[in-house]
Structure 1
Amino acid sequence: MGNMEATAEEYRRFGEVHVRGSSALYERLALGVAGDEQMLELLVTLPKEKRQPNLLFGAVRYLRGTTPEYPDFRAYVLSERELVARTMMSHRTQTNEPARCAALLAVMAGLPGPFALLEVGASAGLCLLPDRYAYDYDGHRIGPPGARPTIRCAVTGRPRLPPHVPEVVWRAGIDLNPLDVNDDDEVRWLEALVWPEHDERRTRLRAALEVARADPPRVVSGDLNTMLDKLAAEVPQGATLVVYHSAVLMYLSPVDRNRFADQVMGLPGHWIAQEDPSVLSGLVRRMPARPENRRSPFLVALDGEPVAFAGSHGGWIEWLDES
């Protein structure tokens, strides 16, 4: 398959699978790009990892705001192709979704604390602060008094609800390009990555940013495979190390994914992954059937063992019968 055909298929799949039922605008834009030779010709001038739909759509939102329909979107991209391409080259898809912390806490509920949290692909570090948010698991509420945002999560299957937020005694993140929660331009990029219709996500992001600005988490710049062991060596004695990530491994080559899995499984702690199931294939001990009533779910795995499916932007968790 040639570059244009592969890129068209990537956009078609994004529209028909990943955003259908969640962002009508992005569905229209993705399908428009998939059938547009001029747009595809522009995209294939970029490196493969820079052709992603989320990166293109985020770049346009960052530069000029939401474009209502495909003809206007197309006209802007083609007329400002150099600016759009430059923005895509200088930025990364670093969606920082605090709602993913609900699944993280549910899995951590079965582990002994206190905890040392090490997130790879941490972006601005908002998912390094799960103990500072409030949660509502179908009416089961936990969190510090007055904490915001409140992260709501529907739970099905065998319940495993955390009795309280975890005690975190150490935390750090790794990212190729850490974002500064006190940099207005970098925050604007984070907001541009939130899909247009997702007002609740945007509100939650802003509330989480306020929490992070009060005491910014430590996120070091570097490659996860280079930095993982170095940071893990800093974990204080008596703390349970939890290495975790969400929507990160898709950006690694298969070789680097395997290298990361080997490293993390060799550490004295636990590994919690939230990723597209196809990305975890070969890295987990079994591949459960996807839930039929869920679109584009993440597979949640603990130490290489699948335990649940969860919403890619949070909102629900469905425990596996075998977990």
Structure 2
Amino acid sequence: MSEHEHERVAAVYDDFGRRWAHGTSPLFEDWATGIAADPAAVARIAALPRRLQQPNLVFAAARWAGCDLVPYASWGSWLAAHWDAVVAITETRSTQTNEPNRCATLLPVLSRIDGPVALLETGTAAGLCLYPDRYSVDYSTPSGRLRVDPVAGPTTFALACTVDDEASVPERMPEIVWRRGIDLDPIDAADPDAVAWLATLVWPGPDHDARVARLRGAAAIVAAERPEIVRGDILEVLTDAARDAPSEATLVVFHSAVLLYLDAAQRRRFADLVGGLGAAIGRRVVWLSNEVAGTLPEIDARLPASLDSSQRFVQTVDAVPVALAGQHGAVYETRPFAR
């Protein structure tokens, strides 16, 4: 294994700890920066296929294998002793984090679309984000809290999101008349083992404790609905999956933290595919994206020069940046893009 590959892995883990886990999951920050500074750990991870090297996957696999949530000084030794078991889990699992709280950052856009809406999510996992209209949401605004409930009434749990402008809070739920997902390996929300794995992917720490309860509450709703999720590569099946959307509805193609798993050429192909989807299927299409900065150059070119997007997605509508959205849906900020 080349020295360059070791340096790359160390940089990935250091960045994960210092930029993404910092301030939100102290334990994962400690584990990630600990690995980055541990040549033996870096070498073990660098020897894995790229897909298995992801910090989220390695950490979740270790937790699935029964590790204690202890500092790296102890956890690093445990990881070395149980490395084969951890790798075996990474080979059969994936980082299909399905965070329903991201729906709180989708609703400001979806609720402002006139008329019926059809949803098509790429990288949908279990489909928990296909039901933004079925969950109660508590929005914290500069002037106080505002709650938005489903038409059928409040749910036993609520999503939570802090917004920097009260105008972002939806006045109503969108009228969603059709839903479909696409995923390489769909998850059944009715499968207890699958939901338990999704819960294991939730980061440890007080900022994340409520996420597990929301995930399980959302999974129960989705399990009762049983959404249609097409198994396949989004680059290959997107157009066919979109053709069945009702012609009278606005089709919204959306995704969160999906394009980072594609290389630059695949991202370009996906952007071109979505950009031409309306013409291909003969109806109105809105492209709603929550991805990290650096995903597509044409979007980066539209970002304010001094923008700090740490721990946030850049939300775009038809490739135009409109907001920063917390990676787990906890914040939604439009002021950086106010004109």
TM-score (norm 2): 0.90
Matched with 1:188 is 196
Q: Deviations over 1:219-244 (max 9, x none)?
A: 12111111100110010120110000
Shift of 1:185: 1.5
Summarize the Cα distance change of 1:4–1:96 in structure 2 as closer, same or farther, 3 Å threshold. Answer: same
Q: Which moved more, 1:122-131 or 1:106-115?
A: 106-115
Matched with 2:281 is none
Q: Deviations over 1:36-59 (max 9, x none)?
A: 111111111111232111111011
Matched with 1:6 is 8
Shift of 1:285: 6.1
Find out whether 1:235 has 2:245 as its counterpart.
yes
- Number of positions where the alignment pairs a residue of Structure 1 with one of Structure 2: 322
Alignment match of 2:40 (pick from 24, 38, 41): 38
Matched with 1:162 is 170
Alignment match of 1:275 (pick from 291, 313, 319): 291
Shift of 1:149: 2.7
Find out whether 1:152 has 2:160 as its counterpart.
yes
Given that 1:258 and 1:283 are in contact with CA atoms closer than 8 Å, whether structure 2 keeps it comes out as no
Provide the C-alpha distance between the structure 1 equivalents of 2:193 and 2:125, rounded to a whole number of angstroms: 14
Q: Which moved more, 1:182-191 or 1:59-68?
A: 59-68
SS at match of 1:141: strand
> Percent identity among equivalent residues?
40
Matched with 1:209 is 219
Given that 1:115 and 1:242 are in contact with CA atoms closer than 8 Å, whether structure 2 keeps it comes out as yes
TM-score (norm 1): 0.94
Summarize the Cα distance change of 1:218–1:203 in structure 2 as closer, same or farther, 3 Å threshold. Answer: same
Shift of 1:107: 1.2
Shift of 1:16: 0.9
Matched with 1:218 is 228
Provide the C-alpha distance between the structure 1 equivalents of 2:67 and 2:329, rounded to a whole number of angstroms: 24
Q: Structure 2: which 5+ runs fail to align? A: 279-284
Summarize the Cα distance change of 1:194–1:52 in structure 2 as closer, same or farther, 3 Å threshold. Answer: same
Matched with 2:149 is 143
Q: Which moved more, 1:123-132 or 1:159-168?
A: 159-168
Q: Structure 1: which 5+ runs fail to align? A: none
Given that 1:285 and 1:305 are in contact with CA atoms closer than 8 Å, whether structure 2 keeps it comes out as no
Summarize the Cα distance change of 1:316–1:189 in structure 2 as closer, same or farther, 3 Å threshold. Answer: same
SS at match of 1:279: coil
Q: CA RMSD in A?
A: 1.7
User: Which AA in structure 1 matches 2:159?
Assistant: I
